[in-house]
Structure 1
Amino acid sequence: MKFLISNDDGYFSPGIRTLAETLARHGEVFVVAPERDRSGASNSLTLDRPLTVRQAANGFHYVNGTPTDCVHLAVTGLLDFRPDMIFSGINHGPNMGDDTIYSGTVAAATEGFLLGIPSIALSLAGYSGQHFTTAAHVVEQLLKRYRQQPLTRPVLLNVNVPDIPINELQSMQVTRLGRRHHAEPVIKAKNPRGETIYWVGPVGSAQDAGPGTDFAAIAGKHVSVTPLMLDLTAYGQLDGITTWLHP
């Protein structure tokens, strides 16, 4: 198999190195990732300037753009083959609930999905970053399942793995996205010139973390696997908006 790997933490992150080493045992690996941390970049494409692609000493390629740029460039011009699968990660920190809207990790996988390739976003759901090998174990489980029964059409999966030792890991659960409270207030500070600057505040606590959500799965030491879709149409409002426009 041939794999394209990207992320939003940058080509130098321990997560992408672990992911590349894991997938290299199962096929051909090509890494195209941002040159720096682009967490929170979401699905943005760079359209106001040209992009450059360079190769690091370890063979990874890096781009002065977003995670979406990386996958788009790789699939539409950089690679001389079409990947069988795209993996984005392993992200340092969770991407659950509303996080998926902002996540560059999920965005890289989303771009692959839009280009017709089965894509998986993978995150280590903890901030200590101690157990990337646990996430690597999950990658191999997913890959084994895919080889046993290939999916009949491209899918976009958002996978979160508890940051715990492998022997504490429970089963995989198919989940839905939970919801968070509103984010915490911005943090004000002063720069050396005395100007007021603002840091975006931390994410809020989980509001909807009930049974079946990604939050609940992680809390129970399970792997959360959430299939995502991109149709943003509010089908339940079509009739109401039609009546509003044409009373």
Structure 2
Amino acid sequence: MPLVAFAPSTNKSACSMQLNLGKPIDLHNRRELIKEWGLDETVGVHLFALDGTPCDTMIVALDGGLKHVLPDVEPSLVLSGVNLGPNLSQDSYHSGTMGAAREAGLYGLPAIASSYTSFDPSGMQVGIEATVELVQRVLPLVPRIPKNLCRPHIDARSKHVSAWPKKAAQRSQGEADQQLMSAFRHGELMLNLNVPPEWNRSYQTTRLGMRWYRNAVKFAESEKGSVESIFTIGAAYIDNEMVDRGDCDSVAAGYASISSLPTWPQTHPLTLDDELLAFALRQDESGHPTWFKG
């Protein structure tokens, strides 16, 4: 199976789902990095850098760009990351890493967002190892040729999508697992992985936790007459509040957290209802979501 990287050419941290609209964007073939990084060329590695945002890369790749540069390659799964730094709790709103995975889901493709929760790159290998393990676990679950890429069939009546504002249907565990698997394969559900630097080699199935960024703004006086003040955003410290099965708490305990998150916002016809997402919190003996067996 070929490996294709479409990545921003520069760091785009905290850009969420920002797009460059109506602006030409250059794509660079970085084939020289294959030898420089010692990658295995026999598996079919292709590295591209786009002068845009993480979501730009997904739209360009999935809406014709990949077919343009690699006509014989069909994507099966998107991995966004591994990001340097955590994407926990409300980080999900700001994260470019998660934004790209969510964009892939909007295009109907299964996606994983992965983050190493330290900003020290020297320990990044552990984040890579946990991510590779999860990808190896997930790849057999998705179709080799995607059935829903670019959403040729939009079915708001699928069993895995919300019936809101009607009451949610009653489901057994088996039915819920099958519906969660269907949601993942169709892009309605994405996975968010966070790996701590002191990873205990185990996983936990989680939901978003709760954390608060305190004293997030620093300011200084400006010597420029036209500038009132200069502000810098960056929290002085973070308060974590314990939440049952929260990703923040799981990572703090040394686990790699796996959260199953809906791709679409609440009240969208393709979102998932709370009752179905409650089943997504159930885990097997390995710490993976039980719906992996659905």
TM-score category, normalised to shorter length:
0.7 to 0.9
Secondary structure of 2:89's counterpart equals coil
Unaligned runs of 5+ in 2: 34-45, 68-72, 143-180, 269-294
Secondary structure of 2:121's counterpart equals coil
Whichever residue aligns with residue 76 of structure 2, its letter is D
**Partner residue of 1:87?**
79
Deviations 1:35-85 (A, max 9, x none): 211111101111142211122332632122110001110111211233100
Aligned counterpart for 1:226 among listed residues 251, 256, 259: 259
**Partner residue of 1:110?**
102
- Shift of residue 191 of structure 1? 5.4
Whichever residue aligns with residue 145 of structure 1, its letter is R
The 2-side partners of 1:148 and 1:54 are apart by 31
Aligned counterpart for 1:41 among listed residues 15, 18, 26: 15
**Partner residue of 1:209?**
242
Pairs aligned (count): 206
**Partner residue of 1:32?**
6
Name the TM-score, length of structure 1 as normaliser: 0.75
Instruction: Answer yes or no: is 1:72 the counterpart of 2:59.
Output: yes
Name the TM-score, length of structure 2 as normaliser: 0.64
Whichever residue aligns with residue 39 of structure 1, its letter is S
- Shift of residue 124 of structure 1? 0.2
Aligned counterpart for 1:122 among listed residues 114, 133, 136: 114
Aligned pairs for 1:50-65 (under 5 A) are 50-56=24-30, 57-58=32-33, 60-65=47-52
**Partner residue of 1:157?**
191
CA contact (8 A) 2:213 2:239 kept: no
Instruction: Answer yes or no: is 1:131 the counterpart of 2:162.
Output: no
Work out the percentage of aligned pairs sharing the same amino acid. Answer: 28
Instruction: Answer yes or no: is 1:189 the counterpart of 2:220.
Output: yes
The 2-side partners of 1:146 and 1:60 are apart by 22
Aligned counterpart for 1:179 among listed residues 196, 210, 215: 210
CA contact (8 A) 1:96 1:214 kept: yes
CA contact (8 A) 1:129 1:163 kept: no
**Partner residue of 1:241?**
none
CA RMSD across the alignment: 2.3
Secondary structure of 2:262's counterpart equals coil
The 1-side partners of 2:91 and 2:206 are apart by 15
- Shift of residue 211 of structure 1? 3.2
Over 3 Å counting, the alpha-carbon distance change for 1:139 and 1:50 in structure 2 is same
Over 3 Å counting, the alpha-carbon distance change for 1:139 and 1:49 in structure 2 is same
The 1-side partners of 2:234 and 2:249 are apart by 24
The 2-side partners of 1:100 and 1:119 are apart by 14
The 2-side partners of 1:210 and 1:76 are apart by 39
